[in-house]
Copies of this chain bind each other. A is one copy, B any other.
Amino acid sequence: MKRFVEVEQLLRAKGVRLTDQRRLVVRRAVAYLHFTAEELVRDVKGFDPSVARGTIYRTLALLHQAGVVEKHDFRYGPPNYEVTFAKAHHDHLMCVQCGEIIEFQEPRVETLQQAVVKRYGYQLLSHTHKLYGLCRTCQHVDRKRVSLPPTLHVEEVVA
């Protein structure tokens, strides 16, 4: 079964009213791995320019609430969305030069996270874990030519 059909079923089960606009937004979103809200706006408007920007943002929020999409901040530009519905948990590794994103799993980190929150008496609800670096290709090109904007400087410098 197509992925968007499952999402629509989930929404219906949650009592969410389905409209043509929402169906289109869902169909376009599942076509991507990672996308920004404005990218989705342009994409959806390419299929139906009459769909308002506000509707697309509202639908995205709806999908977020329904647990269908997650919001990522990769420190460069606006947040990135990902349809994680029926997808195993993973963290991300990004090349700061070319922007390539790799999804990885490392259960031992997740175990340590539990140990950390226990140390402080917290109850863990969620986490973000993102690694930034240079992919094999970009390690061999002139480091001077940085293609990503200056805000993408290191947040936490690795010693």
User: Which A residues between 89 and 144 are near B, CB-CB below 8 angstroms?
Assistant: 89, 91, 93, 95-96, 102, 104, 106, 108-110, 112-113, 115-117, 119-136, 139
A116 and B104 contacting across the interface, CB-CB below 8 Å: yes
Q: A113 — which chain B residues lie within 8 A by C-beta?
A: 109, 131, 158
**Nearest Cβ in chain B — how far from A18, in angstroms?**
21
A128: chain B residues within 8 A (beta carbon) = 75, 128-130, 132, 155-156
| Chain A residues proximal to chain B, CB less than 8 Å | 61, 64-65, 67, 70-73, 75, 84, 89, 91, 93, 95-96, 102, 104, 106, 108-110, 112-113, 115-117, 119-136, 139, 150-151, 153-159
